[in-house]
A and B are shown apart, each in its own frame.
Chain A
Amino acid sequence: MTLVKEAPVRPVKERSAAPDAGRRGRRRENLAGYLFMSPWIAGFLLLTAGPMIASLYYAFTSYNLFTPPQWVGLDNFTTMFQDPRWQKSVEVTLKYVVVATPLKLLLALGVALLLAQNRRGQALYRAAFYMPSLIGASVSVGFVWRALFSDDAVVDRTQKIFGLDVGGWIGNPDYVLYALVALSIWQFGAPMVIFLAGLKQVPQELYEAAEMDGAGPFRRFWNITLPMISPVLFFNVLLESIHAFQVFGSAYVVSDTRCGPADATLVYTCYLYQKGFKESQMGFASAMAWTLVIAVALVTAVLFWSQKKWVHYEEAAK
């Protein structure tokens, strides 16, 4: 500031020095910026961008790690699309994503609405409900799940009360995927916390005004709450569905290490793992990975496109 003010009274010679100092300052800022960023830049080039390019190349080769990759054109993709186990893995993954994500978000939103009312013990409940999201991915909880859903355990005996006699879900190809869905729903706490934060931002005056106009609780939810939290809902849908596409650990631990029985929990990542790391078909596995990336990118694009229709950002509302 002071530099600019003084500049006019200075002799011409020194005035030309000022932009010079500015340029030097800018250069110094650039240097500092890139020095501070250097770990990220190295990580981005070595562990993200570089590997992505390598993987794209492998996808068009036959590569078993021991001999150099050999170009095979689109072979991996044509074999993949005709492979019944690949088709099965797509089917299993889609079923998992489509069933688990909406149920988990519905429960998260429902419980968030409950907790948004200020009552005694609210913070304690919030903490307790969040805990499964932290431990749900562990092998320990995988074992617990396996036990709870096996023959004669609690789930089996409860369903018998309701006349459903299918045995434990773990050994049953028709049911085992739903044990994984249940494990995903159990971890509703993370999206719930995000919903809660969104609900707290809804101005209280809106509800008061609506109440005076005679709007009931359902109308208030539909016309005020839902539009106001739609950005948070969008964020949760995006994050949770991308997550669900990548499920692996629970399929491997809860069912069995081959993601069976009868490939019933052969989620996409599990098949990719088998192809890449058990059968050393790195080319095929890379083709699978890129197909998934494109699928996830499409889902993301569709979600972003659809948000124009249902997500209300504050600027738009004004």
Chain B
Amino acid sequence: MTSTTSPVADTAHERRPIGSLVWHVGALLVLAVVLYPVIWVLGASFKPSKDIIASLDLLPTKPVWANFSGLADGISGISIGSFFSNSLMYAGLAVVGVVLSSSLTAYAFAKIRFAGRNLLFTLMIGTLLLPYHVLLIPQYVLFRNLGYIDTLVPLVAGKFLATEAFFVFLMVQFMRGLPRELDEAAKLDGCGHLRTYWSIVLPLSRPAIITSAIFTFINAWNDFMGPLIYLNTPSKYTVSLGLMMFRDQEGISNYGSMIAMSLVALVPVVAFFMAFQRYLIDGMATSGLKG
């Protein structure tokens, strides 16, 4: 922050053009490594299957659309759209669940003085460090006994019950930073906690909510292990499982289409990232500083 305005820093790199050159060469080098796989998949999607691995050209000499039109046939009788709508449903429910449950919980931690608050907060932070493996098997047994295998319930139940402690933590930090005068004024005006939460704290917490929502969407969209364990019927598969099915059943004969579908699967994540990167990066940064 200070260095932006600091005259010392400014004159320093005006004086050293070589330093500036080294900086840009270094940054561009890292950029090339970071972007290579992304540009590779973009290029490969437009190459004929046989050229994808063997050709070193990053972009195709003559782009073909066959890989994408090949997707229209679906995989083993299931349309590609089905995987995408299943993923969208999963990610959408996850976002609603996380935003509602985490913001309610965070409001209690940040704005209500109740007995046992510190103890519960410590417990919540503790769950952040708990390896999820230990919950994998008993949760599976639980959802199996309840008859929810092969549904989205096991995948989203935790999101509606604020088990994503990272987002609760993020929102608590944000809500604690809101000026106390606002909710005191609301209290004097006769607002109960529900009104204060809904019409004052929630709208003001928009940045933290957007960050949590986008992260949740991306995590659910990428989630592989959850669907792998809980979903059995191919028509209920998410994009991750659809891709794996693609590889197991047609991966060799139809390699180009599999790569094209990989590209399409990345589009929502990259689009969200480009639109909201500020929120995501700032959200990550504050979590580290205050943790």
Contacts and interface: CB of A to CB of B under 8 A. Distances in A.
Nearest to B105: A40
Contacts of B44: 147
B8 A144 contact: no
> Which 5 residue pairs of A and B lie closest in terms of their CB atoms, listed nearest first?
A33-B114, A43-B161, A194-B288, A51-B138, A197-B285
Given A43-B162, A47-B161, A129-B34, A139 B240 contact: yes
Interface in B276-291: 277, 280-281, 284-289, 291
B18 interface: no
Given A32-B112, A140-B41, A242-B129, A43 B284 contact: no
**Chain B binding site: helix, strand, loop or mixed by DSSP?**
helix
Interface string B86-123: 00000000000000110011011100111101001001
Interface in B226-268: 228-229, 239-240, 243-244, 247-248, 258-259, 262-263, 265-266
B125 interface: no
A134 B218 CA distance: 7
B27 A32 contact: no
Contacts of A246: 131-133
B2 interface: yes
A272 B228 CA distance: 14
Given A118-B4, A138-B266, A194-B285, A37 B138 contact: no
Contacts of A189: 34
Given A48-B130, A204-B6, A296-B131, A39 B289 contact: no
Given A138-B269, A272-B136, A293-B130, 9 more contacts: A32-B193, A34-B108, A44-B127, A51-B139, A58-B137, A140-B266, A286-B134, A289-B134, A300-B129
Contacts of B115: 30, 33
B181 to A, nearest CB: 14
A135 B270 contact: yes
Given A128-B35, A292-B131, A33 B117 contact: yes
Given A52-B134, A147-B259, A272-B133, A40 B162 contact: yes
Contacts of A78: none
Interface of A: 29-30, 32-34, 36-37, 39-44, 46-48, 50-52, 54-55, 58, 65, 111, 114-119, 121, 125-132, 134-135, 137-141, 143-145, 147-148, 150-154, 157, 186, 189-190, 193-194, 196-198, 200-201, 203-204, 208, 232, 235-236, 238, 242, 245-246, 248-249, 252-253, 257, 269, 272-273, 276-277, 282, 285-286, 288-290, 292-293, 296, 300
B65 interface: no
16 contacts: A33-B115, A42-B161, A54-B138, A118-B4, A126-B281, A130-B284, A137-B224, A139-B244, A147-B40, A147-B44, A148-B40, A153-B54, A273-B229, A276-B136, A276-B140, A292-B134
Interface centre among A134, A148, A186, by most B CB within 10 Å?
Answer: A134
**Chain A binding site: helix, strand, loop or mixed by DSSP?**
helix
A238 B129 CA distance: 9
Interface string B144-173: 100000000000011011110000100000
B34 A186 contact: yes
Nearest to B144: A65
A277 B160 CA distance: 25
A302 B133 CA distance: 21
Contact of A130 (B104, B135, B247, B280): B280
A182 B70 CA distance: 32
Contact of A44 (B1, B107, B123, B248): B123
Contacts of A290: 134
Given A32-B112, A33-B117, A48-B127, A39 B262 contact: no
A235 B291 contact: yes
Nearest to B20: A119
Contacts of A257: 244, 248
Nearest to B53: A153
Contacts of A150: 53
Contacts of A198: 288-289
A50 B163 CA distance: 13
A138 B265 CA distance: 9
A54 B137 CA distance: 9
A131 B34 contact: yes
B222 A276 contact: no
Given A33-B108, A193-B284, A43 B134 contact: no
Given A33-B117, A193-B284, A196-B285, A128 B13 contact: no
A48 B130 CA distance: 9
A55 B135 contact: yes
B161 A148 contact: no
B281 A193 contact: yes
B104 A36 contact: yes
Contacts of B64: none
A216 to B, nearest CB: 14
A148 B37 contact: yes
